[in-house]
Chains A and B, each alone.
Chain A
Amino acid sequence: MTCLVAFAAVECGAQAPAAPAPAAAAEPQPLAVAAQTPEPGKLLLERRPLIAATLADPAGVDPKTLTVEVDGVDVTLLVKVEAGRITYAPPADLAHGERTIKISAAGPGGVALAPVEWKFKIRRFAAFEEASLSGELSSTFEHALRKPKKEPSDASGVSKKTETPVNNFQNNLSVRGLLKEGDFTARLDSNIRYNDEFRPRARPKSENDKLDIANYLIGVERNPLLFELGDVSIQEGFFGAPSLSRRGMHLKLDEMQNIGVSLHGFATRYETTTGHDPFFGVEDGDSVLVGGALIVAPFQDREILKLHALNVRGHRFSSAPGSNVGGIVSGERGELTSFGTSSAFLGGQLKLSTEVAFSEFDQNTLDDIREQADKAYRARLEGTQGLGMLLEAPVTTLAAFEYSYVGFEFRSPANPGIQPDRRGWAFKDDTTWKIVTLSWGYSTFEDNTDLLVLLPRVRSRTWEAALGLTPAELPSPVFTYKRQIQRSYYEPETFGEKGIDNIQTTYDLRVAWGLGESLSVNWGASLIVFDDKRLITSTTTGGDVYTWQTQAGLTLKPLKTLSVSPNYNYTLVDEKTKTVVLDSGATIHDRVRTEAHTATLTLVQELIPKILNLDVQASGASSASSDDSVDNQTYSGVARLTWNVGSLFWDYGKQALSLRTNFNRVVDHVARRDTNEVGIFLILDLLSPYNL
């Protein structure tokens, strides 16, 4: 029975609420309301909507205990209660976005009822449920009080472009936006950098691109479709495009859960990681990649089998050395088609994936050589298995096996990292028990498997094992052993007997120890033994090499405002039979030891928290060899004192003033050169937010 009642008096003799059950004493009965206005989840344009609710059981409510909150603000004094209906008319505009209404009350006996709460949204614009645009302009103006290098003379031939500028103006505008209406969402995430440098004399301004980089990602989504334009990330297949982060666009249709089909089309281009590239478009000088993928899951359990087909076409799939990738195979035109499967069984405990890919490519479209074509394939099986209990703790193992073959003339226009003319397999297993992790693996690969007679065919095998312990509050050691064997099973005469055979063995021990937030320590040491199997003659260079290395570092926070992190590394390279040229010009084989010390220090000190900061980073390195071919020392550092002045200069955003000094010294005893540079800079940093 439901009665509508006024809060002041019960009018219809409604049934008294039933006595709460003992179990319910811990969980209060909910306050029953009906006809909430605005309805829960409703989208409104009205900034001052009438907020109302009707009590379902007024007799069970003590009207004196009634409270109403809007976004946590108590508005009970402005609430009207008539005939069991609570109404509240906001006296001012409510904020855009999601608003929360909460009504609380207690029963007649003073027993608190569980409050009722609901939410609705107030739109900013009529067309969109949510809309926002915000920007942050970060600007740094740097003035050299003392430049670290003397300006080269006009006749020296040294470019002034390489010199430190007198003034440096660097800016980054970050813009983020969002539009949302129901299932439709559009997002913008972008950064635009503008750098300008000012130099004296012949070239008052830099000739570098001032707009350093503009990157952006615009995403439009309406389930099941996703379209992205800008700096996209594409992952399709292994030989195809396992991980592409490039400028471009892609469209995805994902109906995998409904009908077991997913479609993906993409078009990208290179040359976006550095340089000025604010627009999207296909230009002659750029490497272009266009492709599409289809994924079909034929069974109701989508994970049992997924079939994957991919086709990509590339144009000028090369990247110039020095852009972001140095030294890769290039091609004028290429195409790749691949087919693959992926399956997961036993709730994901066993996974199998396969892929076969066919490629065609033409290194030079203008010559008479036709396209080269070849294939590659790969299969991977991995599984997780519990091996039982040992001393009341489970032992689990994760094992993976992979076989791959890549043909001599296989080139993927979408994956320049694929190594052609290679076949082999690898196995890896990780077994964990309590604090112990044991990893081991074996791999064997054969390179130059084609019938090219000018190169030796190489078989490389690797054994690897690592044992790690992670005891609580104690040092965590990891010991690694690795043995790599390289042998040829065909050698051209020019390579001589055992021309490329060798064994490399690595022993490595690392220990890390965290002592709360104030101290963490790490130490490591390794020995790498290179055993050259060649017959070393007077005309051969090389021989056995032993490399010793140790490294130690710690992070210390003696005060809450001070952090110090020194690090030291020592390397000794012991070459047993190195070719040495004597002062007389004669060449002999001799044992040569080269030692290198590298030390770094990072210090962060908040002199006045949030206001005055001191940051120091310094490093030094020294290398010397027993044959006197190397003997140099390098010291460098930067120290920066930053005064966060808030809005001191003008009442907008944040400003900071900094004084920075750079130090760099290089002493080369072999070349008889000693370069000493010190620079001092005054810097103004500005942060200007723009929110719409």
Chain B
Amino acid sequence: MGIFEYAPAPESRDIANLKDHYRPFIGGEFVDGSGEPLKTVNPATEEILAEVGTASVSDVDTAVRAARAAYETVWSRMPGSERAKYLFRIARLIQERSRELAVLESLDNGKPIKESRDSDIPTAAAHFFYHAGWADKLAYAGYGPNPKPLGVAGQVIPWNFPLLMLAWKIAPALATGNTVVLKPAETTPLTALVFAEICQQAELPPGVVNILPGAGDIGAAVVEHGDIDKIAFTGSTEVGKLIQRTVAGTRKKLTLELGGKAANVVFDDAPLDQAVEGIVNGIFFNQGHVCCAGSRLLVQESVAEEVLEKLRYRVSTLRMGDPLDKNTDIGAINSAEQLAKIRGLVESGDAEGAQRWTSPCPVPDRGFFFAPTVFSDVHQSMRIAREEIFGPVLSVLTFRTPDEAVAKANNTPYGLSAGIWTEKGSRILWMANKLRAGVVWANTFNRFDPAAPFGGYQESGFGREGGRTGLEAYLDV
């Protein structure tokens, strides 16, 4: 280590315009929720950032009624060309307030500022921009001449990409003519409430978007509410199954974007330095808090030692620390609870006989941090090869033949994403065809775009977000 030394380059936290109090957004107004207020914490320092009013079950009902009224009286009657202009306004307002949103996101979530600034916020704006254009072109989307919205959509999103997941949910819902009640994650409510301000600035009709901070019980109340037509959930497979069970037998349309245990497959002819960059991006992007993270590395046996050596060196250069520092590669784990879960799974890796290697990078003495970790000698039966860790922990397995790589890659109940590294074009296409996953990255990893449908096979959920395919989730077709 130490070819280059870095001076701290922190982004100013003042840019976040952090307030002491945030409140739920219902019917176009910020209101006092009747739930118990929560305190949201900066995971990098464990300091309280703000107090956030939460919704109660009766607030959920109020919000659904506001969304229903907005749907019936305004939003479903508005020409698509007019809806589009609101979405374009929102896209622009996100772009204009992108620095503020990026800093706030990094404070609340713990992710490095370079990721919130260069990835989360611009992609969130892009989702609104993309879907805005669809609002008056739905007749061309391939769902018949006049596809209808569903009504009121209830949406529950996770803490790993707070504003981006909000955009993935709200942009297509609004473009297709639905109104929404959205519950952000308990630990990351702040950017969603700034988004509510953006809705006001865009003069979005009241009730079209309602944001209800709260814990799992409020998510459950949204899912169970009798006057909601559509449920969209991104989160764990465990909760997804509960939601599918709850919604079973109702007329609610359901889409689920759940967990994953993606295989990232490296063949011996791959450009190894490039592959190592892709492996690092695949598992350490966003501290590994990514449902499509490349958490199972499958390396061809003949290059396994070489890849591991290069990988350990590269990982040892990753800088972990202050999320607001522009040089930080790895930020904070989002919560103490998640940190405990990661630790538990890592201990199971030790106990089951895998070889643990941990980056020697300095670990801050405050906040929730977990140093990048690579397990080798991992077998398919181990928990660290089967369960989603959702942290900066990579499990390395080996294979000899392409068929073995496919068999191992597909040996999971999940099916969200996969990676392929090889110079051979025919092998890329063959592998892409055989891998049972909704997104396949070849010689790249973790690419997202509103024009590219994203979603899983099997227990990674159903329905897609993005592209023409993604519109189906919010249309009565």
Tell me whether A and B are bound partners. Answer: no
Write the residues of chain A forming the contact surface with B, with a CB cutoff of 8 angstroms.
none
Residues of B within 8 A of A (CB): none
